[in-house]
Amino acid sequence: MKKLFVVDGNSIINRAYYGVRPLLTKSGKYTNAIFGMINIISKQMDAVRPDYAAVAFDLKPPTFRHEMYEHYKAQREETPEDIRASVPIIKDILRAYRIPILEVAGYEA
Protein backbone atom coordinates (compact mmCIF):
# COMPACT_ATOMS: atom_id res chain seq x y z
CA MET A 1 0.00 0.00 0.00
CA LYS A 2 1.30 3.46 -0.95
CA LYS A 3 1.46 6.25 1.65
CA LEU A 4 0.55 9.87 0.91
CA PHE A 5 1.73 12.61 3.27
CA VAL A 6 -0.01 15.99 2.86
CA VAL A 7 0.69 18.88 5.22
CA ASP A 8 -1.32 22.04 5.86
CA GLY A 9 1.62 24.43 5.44
CA ASN A 10 -0.07 27.49 6.94
CA SER A 11 -1.04 25.58 10.06
CA ILE A 12 2.45 24.16 10.59
CA ILE A 13 4.11 27.54 9.97
CA ASN A 14 1.92 29.15 12.65
CA ARG A 15 2.57 26.29 15.03
CA ALA A 16 6.31 26.57 14.42
CA TYR A 17 6.37 30.37 14.69
CA TYR A 18 4.64 30.41 18.07
CA GLY A 19 6.01 27.09 19.35
CA VAL A 20 9.72 27.58 18.72
CA ARG A 21 11.61 30.11 20.78
CA PRO A 22 12.44 33.23 18.75
CA LEU A 23 15.44 32.61 16.51
CA LEU A 24 17.08 35.55 14.77
CA THR A 25 19.70 36.04 12.10
CA LYS A 26 22.50 38.54 12.69
CA SER A 27 20.46 41.07 10.72
CA GLY A 28 17.46 40.58 13.02
CA LYS A 29 15.22 38.47 10.79
CA TYR A 30 13.13 35.85 12.58
CA THR A 31 13.77 32.28 11.45
CA ASN A 32 11.84 30.29 14.07
CA ALA A 33 8.95 29.61 11.65
CA ILE A 34 11.40 28.38 9.00
CA PHE A 35 13.39 26.22 11.40
CA GLY A 36 10.29 24.81 13.07
CA MET A 37 8.43 24.07 9.83
CA ILE A 38 11.34 22.24 8.22
CA ASN A 39 12.10 20.38 11.44
CA ILE A 40 8.47 19.22 11.83
CA ILE A 41 8.23 18.08 8.21
CA SER A 42 11.60 16.30 8.32
CA LYS A 43 10.72 14.41 11.50
CA GLN A 44 7.32 13.38 10.15
CA MET A 45 8.77 12.29 6.80
CA ASP A 46 11.30 10.12 8.65
CA ALA A 47 8.56 8.64 10.86
CA VAL A 48 5.95 8.06 8.14
CA ARG A 49 8.28 7.23 5.23
CA PRO A 50 5.67 8.22 2.63
CA ASP A 51 5.78 7.29 -1.04
CA TYR A 52 4.38 10.70 -1.94
CA ALA A 53 4.36 14.03 -0.11
CA ALA A 54 3.09 17.56 -0.66
CA VAL A 55 2.58 20.74 1.33
CA ALA A 56 -0.61 22.75 0.80
CA PHE A 57 -0.80 26.51 1.34
CA ASP A 58 -3.67 28.96 1.45
CA LEU A 59 -3.85 31.64 -1.20
CA LYS A 60 -5.33 35.03 -0.40
CA PRO A 61 -9.06 34.98 0.34
CA PRO A 62 -11.78 34.67 -0.65
CA THR A 63 -12.35 30.95 -0.32
CA PHE A 64 -15.62 29.12 -0.68
CA ARG A 65 -16.02 29.52 3.10
CA HIS A 66 -15.79 33.32 2.82
CA GLU A 67 -18.47 33.16 0.15
CA MET A 68 -20.70 31.06 2.43
CA TYR A 69 -20.16 33.29 5.47
CA GLU A 70 -18.81 36.81 4.93
CA HIS A 71 -17.39 37.04 8.49
CA TYR A 72 -15.34 33.84 8.21
CA LYS A 73 -12.07 34.42 10.10
CA ALA A 74 -13.01 38.09 10.57
CA GLN A 75 -12.01 37.90 14.25
CA ARG A 76 -8.48 36.73 13.45
CA GLU A 77 -5.55 39.05 13.91
CA GLU A 78 -3.44 40.02 10.93
CA THR A 79 -0.65 37.55 10.15
CA PRO A 80 2.63 38.85 11.63
CA GLU A 81 5.10 40.19 9.08
CA ASP A 82 7.72 37.73 10.36
CA ILE A 83 5.50 34.84 9.27
CA ARG A 84 4.67 36.40 5.89
CA ALA A 85 8.39 36.96 5.24
CA SER A 86 9.15 33.32 6.09
CA VAL A 87 6.70 31.76 3.62
CA PRO A 88 8.72 32.34 0.39
CA ILE A 89 11.86 30.99 2.07
CA ILE A 90 9.99 27.90 3.29
CA LYS A 91 8.61 27.33 -0.21
CA ASP A 92 12.13 27.59 -1.66
CA ILE A 93 13.35 24.98 0.84
CA LEU A 94 10.44 22.67 -0.01
CA ARG A 95 11.27 23.01 -3.72
CA ALA A 96 14.90 22.17 -2.94
CA TYR A 97 13.66 19.01 -1.18
CA ARG A 98 11.49 18.36 -4.25
CA ILE A 99 8.31 18.43 -2.15
CA PRO A 100 5.43 19.67 -4.29
CA ILE A 101 3.54 22.78 -3.18
CA LEU A 102 -0.24 22.74 -3.59
CA GLU A 103 -2.20 25.99 -3.89
CA VAL A 104 -5.68 26.30 -5.34
CA ALA A 105 -7.59 29.57 -5.52
CA GLY A 106 -10.80 29.49 -3.54
CA TYR A 107 -9.68 26.68 -1.22
CA GLU A 108 -7.76 26.48 2.04
CA ALA A 109 -4.85 24.17 2.70
Per-residue pLDDT tens digits for 84-94: 999 999 999 99
C-alpha 60/C-alpha 107 separation (Å) is 9
Distances (CA, A) of 102 to 8, 14, 105: 10, 18, 10
Average pLDDT of span 46-62: 90
pTM of the model: 0.84
> pLDDT grade, residue 36 (50/70/90)?
very high
DSSP state of 97: T
Rounded average pLDDT over 18-44: 93
Question: In the prediction, which pLDDT does 66 show?
Answer: 58
